[in-house]
Structure 1
């Protein structure tokens, strides 16, 4: 391939400001909250939830991070790719994962101002109460991270698994 054949990608944007440096106490609190929220949850399920919420929130930085973490953690490329269409690709996921994804969608997009009872009840059938509480906490935390990422325009593409944001 010659240089003439090399595609010219759009330039990378700059983040608006280094929020974690300017609000270090908030950043450290978010890291502690994230650590607490993941306790007792299957790491693969957790990454699927984080990817799905990040898709809904259009957080490219978190999509990059959690897709890479999922793949590094042994998740299949196929399941990561199909997350954006999980309802049509249900056969790639377990019933428990489907309940978690449905709950993630409902908690992330509060279109009706609440999480529908039937969605919550389906999740409650697949998760013990403590695990369900942790799952809801994890969904809430990734939504908060997404809001920081989108608002401050964090730049995707540089994260490597094993790094911290």
Structure 2
């Protein structure tokens, strides 16, 4: 099992997408990249904590390759947008990958390089050392599945889920 920590907009979308993939064993929404201990959602939303909304994705690399987990990340958000994704604006929505060791750092750099070949314009995704990963409040965990009719889920998360289901059909769990 491996775990990657990535941030790219609202963690509800990242969480929803990764939960649709075969081999993904756990997804934990949380906060990382900042200095504030035990941050709350409200504190992170101020943009003053330095934390990003992120997900820790634990997966079985014998079922789904590391490269696919990372390529999905670059498919489901726009890595050219600095400190925002769509209408979600602030450093807490930045595009970032948080590495636990040098192997992950190299994998993340390779994934970012692959993304640069697909996206026009500059990729602003940062690759940062993973510090403390703070689990988000329980109501954020698996938010999309718990709130499928919620406006943000319908307007923002669902299109991303559908895009990944189409683009990575061979890795999607049977419905």
TM-score, structure 1 as length reference: 0.29
Higher strand share: 2
Structure with bigger gyration radius:
1
Kindly indicate whether structure 1 or structure 2 has the higher relative contact order, using CA contacts under 8 Å at least 6 residues apart: 1
Higher helix share: 1
